[in-house]
Amino acid sequence: MQIIAITNLKGGSAKSTTTFNLAGVLVEAGFKVLCIDIDPQKTLGDAFFGVQAKGETLSAVLVKDSLLSLAVQPTKFERLQVVPADDGLKGIKSGQTQIEGGELRLRSCLTRLKTNLDQVNGVGQIDWVLIDCPPSLDRLTMNALVASDYVLIPVDAGAGGRVALADTLEYVYSARKWYNPTLKVLGLLISNTDTRTVYDQETAALVRERYGDLVFKTTVTASVRIRESAELQMPLVFCKGAEFTRYADIYRTLRDELLQRIRSKA
Ligand SMILES: Nc1ncnc2c1ncn2[C@@H]1O[C@H](COP(=O)(O)OP(=O)(O)O)[C@@H](O)[C@H]1O
Ligand SMILES: [Mg+2]
């Protein structure tokens, strides 16, 4: 079981879109995937997958340190399960809900899943856990970074995006220093970019110049098809119609590059 946090301080940098479509291509390759939506905005679970929190919620699991599998729900796709976000996460984020040792809660939940101490609710062997983070450097994001093996950072290459990226990386390195020394930055993914414009070409070049090999070769171009697939609540690889193929292929290329990177880091 490999755990990847998809994070960036900046809202609208394609975290949820990346998580959604990466889940799709990993499932397509035969893997079993669990997506965790730890953003109180509920974009990934509720808006994109159409799965609402019910019964034992993620916030309740974190507060009570109970079994994460109780909060796992099926999606309409085989081998793809989701832990949706819920309103209780807002209290954890703001600090109103106090949890002792709060940064480590998600890590203990996932360790129980990984070591088969938590196997209720039909949650068996999971290959990949993808954690979609909120757009802030808060206790929820820290929970995700402390629990993860890898971090993937979708990047908006514009001026504001580059400043947010530097702050995000600093936060990731502090998580590594204080809590999770084996955390690795898997890569920066330039997303939602219009490669036909000089502005987007130049800003992407600035990111590559500064961060070199940390940046994935794959870039995700901007397209209404990508927004449409979220509206249809179907990752691009599952969307019917030739107009989606080109964009599904971008995520397939990203999957191959990501698997290659993980092999070389292992
Ligand atoms: N490659 C893309 N092309 C077009 N729209 C995109 C692309 N990636 C993301 N978007 C849109 O940008 C907005 C923000 O994306 P989202 O994934 O929700 O960002 P975040 O989770 O970082 O806040 C959404 O409306 C999403 O549909
Ligand atoms: Mg999001």
Q: What is the enclosing helix (H) or strand (E) of 128?
A: strand 128-132
Beta bridge partners of 35: 82, 130
Which residue has tokens 């893997």?
Answer: 31
Q: Are 61 and 71 in contact (CB under 8 A)?
A: yes
Domain that holds residue 236: 2-265
Q: What integer is the mean pLDDT of 100-125?
A: 85
CA separation for the pair 223, 175 (Å, rounded): 34
pLDDT tier at 32, thresholds 50, 70, 90: very high
How confident is the model over 136-194, as pLDDT tens digits?
999 999 999 999 999 999 999 888 999 999 999 999 999 999 999 999 999 999 999 99
**What is the CATH classification number for the domain harbouring 218?**
3.40.50.300
Q: What is the enclosing helix (H) or strand (E) of 185?
A: strand 184-190
Residue-level pLDDT at 3 = 98
How confident is the model over 195-217, as pLDDT tens digits?
899 999 999 999 999 999 999 99
Judged against a pLDDT cut of 70, whether residue 239 lies above it is answered with: yes
Judged against a pLDDT cut of 90, whether residue 115 lies above it is answered with: no
Q: For residue 117, how far is its CA from the centre of ligand 2 (angstroms)?
A: 30
Q: What is the CB-side half-sphere exposure of residue 139 using CA atoms within 13 A?
A: 20
Q: What is the domain count for the chain?
A: 1
Q: What is the pTM of this model?
A: 0.97
CB of 222 sitting under 6 A from ligand 1: yes
Which residue has tokens 């109103």?
Answer: 96
Residue-level pLDDT at 265 = 79
How confident is the model over 80-97, as pLDDT tens digits?
999 999 999 999 998 888
Kindly report the backbone phi and psi dihedral angles of residue 4, in degrees, each rounded to the nearest multiple of 5, phi listed first.
-120, 125
Residue-level pLDDT at 121 = 67
Distance (Å) of CA 210 to CA 190, 198, 206: 13, 18, 6
CB of 43 sitting under 6 A from ligand 1: yes
Mean pLDDT of the chain: 95
Q: Are 114 and 102 in contact (CB under 8 A)?
A: no
**Nearest C-alpha neighbor of 20 from the set 87, 89, 75:** 75
Relative to the alpha carbon of 13, which ligand is closest? 1
CA separation for the pair 108, 114 (Å, rounded): 10
Relative to the alpha carbon of 155, which ligand is closest? 1
Q: For residue 11, how far is its CA from the centre of ligand 1 (angstroms)?
A: 9
Ligand 1 pocket mutation, candidates 131, 165, 189, 192, criterion most atoms within 8 A of CB: 192
Record the tokens describing residue 235, joined without a space.
């990752």
